[in-house]
Structure formats: structure tokens, C-alpha cells
Chain A
Amino acid sequence: MAQARRQRLVSRAGATAIALALAIGLLPGHQTDALTLTLYDPVVTFTCDDPDLFPSVQAAENPVRIRALILPKEAGACTLTVLAAGDLSGGSGAVPIESVWWTASGAGYLDGRMSKSAPVLVGAWSGSGAQQGLLTFRMDNSWNYPSGYFTQVALFTLSSP
């Protein structure tokens, strides 16, 4: 009888632990992130023609929708930054990544220019919610660029301290 009672207690303890885990959302395969960043267009494309006629060019995908989802548990100071992995690189040379810049709309979102040296602030918020924005990417055009196809990646990071 005592053994049966012990078994019931074990079951209850286990069930309690499981219930708490479900409440926190921590069981494997059921984790809920407090911060969720979504770039609705993960690729932007530029075509540079006559620099005299087109001193800057727009990305074909403009405007790019972006959403920073901040849950209440993270409703402190959240920042969104971007850091490029290098210059735009191709077979015939490189184009400075700083030639790529954006204007932003949406509460908390900021204009900026790509950098490979230090993260650039894209947005900042102090409350929770779904922070929707639009980023319009442009690229400076120049006679000094080598011709060819160039590519690079940039990492957007949404974080709270």
C-alpha cells in the first residue's frame, strides 16, 4: 500500500513538472521564443546601368517587409542591427558594401547604410508587440565599379540585453 502511495506521489510530481513545463513552453519541440524576426524578402537584387542616368538604383524587391515580434517577457529595450559579412564580391573584383543603404518606415525603424565593420542600428523598441516596418534598399552607382555579378550576405539581429 505504501508502495502504491509512493507511486502515486511520483506520478503527481512528474505531472506537476510536466504541467509547469507546458506552461513555460519548454518541452522539446514546443519552445516559444521571446523574440522573432522575420524578413519577408531575404534576397534583394540591384542592376546598375549608366551611373549618369541612375546615380543610385533601387532593389527590385522594394519595399522589403520586416517584422520584429517581441513578447511581453522581453518588453525591455530591444534592438535590431545588421552587419554585412564583407563587400559585394564577384569574379572581377568587389564593390564596397557601404554602397548599399536603406530608408525605413514603421515605428522604431531607422534609416542606415550597410557596414562590414560594425553592426548598424536598424530599429529599437522598449515595449512588446509586433513591430512592422518597411525597408527600401538602394545602391549607389558609380563608374568606378568593376562590371560583373556581385553578392554578399548581411545578418540582421534582433536582441534584448
Chain B
Amino acid sequence: MRGLLLAAVTCITILIGAAAASADVDTEILTINATVNSQAKLTLSSTTVNFASANPDTTPSIPADENPVSVTAKARTGSASTVTLTVLAAGDLLSGGDTIAINNVSWTASGAGFVGGIMDKTIAQSAGSWTGSGNRSGAFSYFLANSWDYPTGSYMQSATYTLTAP
């Protein structure tokens, strides 16, 4: 009799002990997924540059009135991918039937990754390159090589900057 009661009490004790060890904790897992899309955005503080007429002897290189032109190149790409900025002129400087070769226009650059160069109407010229994503700022200063050989006139041309984030 005593043994049977002891067995019952033991059984109950074990069960209560198990109750004390029951869950005081519960958990849930949240999965977070994110798609980060490639992006490219280029900004120039001035989209027009003007070169005033000047004496070629005293001003062999004419700076643009708008210098320096601030440039911002924002790109999002793979961490090892190369971001490039190039420029390609649409042709020579034109004034009616007169032309000034576009490669008389050059620029210098400041800011990490930005590079200077000479305008070209055939091959896109590098104006900057970087590795991976980022928001890069710099400045371009434009110059026109002056010459007594230029026909007088008012010349114009456009150049396209292309920022690529693969």
C-alpha cells in the first residue's frame, strides 16, 4: 500500500517537475529579403559652357565662363563592377559653314575618380571611373585653345556625357 502511494507521489512529482521546465520562451523567425537595383544618375551644375572671344596672344587658352562646373556621379552596381563616365561630342564647333575642331576644347578635373581630357567627336573620352557603388562629386573646368586662324562667328556644339553602372 505504502509502496503504491509512493509510486503515485513520485509519478506526480516527476510530472510537476516537467511542468516547471515547460516553455517560458517562444520564438519566431523573420526572413528579410532585399533587392537593390542598379542605378546611375549624373548631374552637371551647368549644361552650357561659353567661351568669350579673346586675343590669342594674351589668352592662348580661354577658360569657360562657368568654370568650374560641378559634377555628381551617383551609381549603384556590383561591389566589383566598374562605373564609367564618358563624353562624346556630336561634331566640331559650328558657325554657319565655318568650323572649329572640337578637339580644341579640353577640360581638367578634380575629385576622386574624375579625369581630364580632350573632346572628341569620334571616340567617347573617359571623364571618370570608379569601382562599386557610391556618390562621387567633382568638378570640370573647360578650356578652348585660342588661335588667330579661327574664322569669326558664334560657334556651338553639344557633347553627351554617359554614366554607366553595369
Of residues 102 through 148 on chain B, the ones whose CB sits less than 8 Å from some CB of chain A are: 132-135
Q: How far is B11's CA from A144's CA once the two chains are assembled, in angstroms?
A: 63
> Is B84's CB within 8 Å of the partner chain A?
no
Q: A42, B25: Cβ atoms under 8 Å?
A: no
A156 touching B22 by the CB < 8 A rule?
Answer: no
A107 part of interface (Cβ distance < 8 Å): no
- Contact at B30–A21, with CB atoms within 8 Å? no
* A144-B28 CB under 8 A given contacts A26-B22, A149-B35, A150-B36: no
Q: Identify which of B23, B28, B39 contacts A42 (C-beta below 8 A).
A: B28
Q: Write out the residue numbers on chain B whose beta carbons fall within 8 Å of the beta carbon of A24.
A: 15-16, 19
**Judging by beta carbons under 8 Å apart, are A17 and B11 in contact?**
yes
CA of A24 to CA of B11 in the docked complex: distance in angstroms?
13
Given the interface contacts A9-B4, A17-B8, A52-B41, does A149 sit within 8 Å of B33 by beta carbon? yes
Most B C-beta atoms less than 10 A away, residue of A17, A39, A82, A88: A17
Q: How far apart are the CA atoms of A14 and B12 in the complex, in Å? A: 9
Which of these, A14, A95, A146, contacts B132 with CB under 8 Å?
A146
Q: Which of B44-52, B54-62, B70-78, B149-157 faces chain A?
A: B70-78
Please pick, from A9, A20, A88, A143, the residue contacting B76 in the complex, using a CB distance under 8 A. A143
**Is residue A159 within 8 Å, beta carbon to beta carbon, of the partner chain?**
yes
In the bound complex, residues from chain B placing their C-beta under 8 Å from that of A74 are 24
Q: A152, B32: Cβ atoms under 8 Å?
A: yes
Q: Mark A132-151, 1 if CB is under 8 A from B, else 0.
A: 00000101000111111111
Q: Is B95's CB within 8 Å of the partner chain A?
A: no
Is A35's CB within 8 Å of the partner chain B?
yes
- Contact residues of B: prevailing secondary structure: mixed
Cross-chain contact of A17 among B1, B12, B18, B24 (Cβ < 8 A)? B12
Q: Which of B7, B26, B30, B41 has a CB less than 8 Å from the CB of A43?
A: B30
Verify A34–B133 contact, CB threshold 8 A: no
Looking at the assembled complex, report how far the CB atom of B91 sits from the nearest CB atom of chain A, in whole angstroms: 33
- Whether the pair B30, A48 counts as a contact (CB closer than 8 A) is no
The smallest C-beta distance from B38 to any residue of chain A, in angstroms, reads: 4
Minimal Cβ-Cβ distance residue in B for A27: B15
Q: Establish whether residues B26 and A146, one from each chain, have CB atoms under 8 Å apart when the complex forms.
A: no
> Could you write out 25 A-B pairs with CB less than 8 Å apart?
A9-B4, A10-B7, A13-B11, A16-B8, A16-B12, A26-B15, A26-B19, A26-B22, A33-B23, A42-B29, A42-B31, A44-B30, A48-B35, A49-B39, A51-B39, A88-B34, A93-B79, A97-B32, A143-B74, A146-B79, A147-B77, A149-B35, A151-B32, A155-B29, A157-B26
What is A's interface to B at a CB cutoff of 8 Å? 6, 9-10, 13-14, 16-17, 20-21, 24, 26, 31-39, 42-52, 74, 82, 84, 88, 92-93, 95, 97, 100, 114, 137, 139, 143-160
Query: Which A-B residue pairs are the 5 nearest by beta carbons?
Result: A13-B8, A93-B79, A33-B23, A146-B79, A17-B11
Q: Which residues of B contact A (CB under 8 A)?
A: 1, 4-5, 7-8, 11-12, 15-16, 18-19, 22-39, 41, 74-80, 132-135, 165
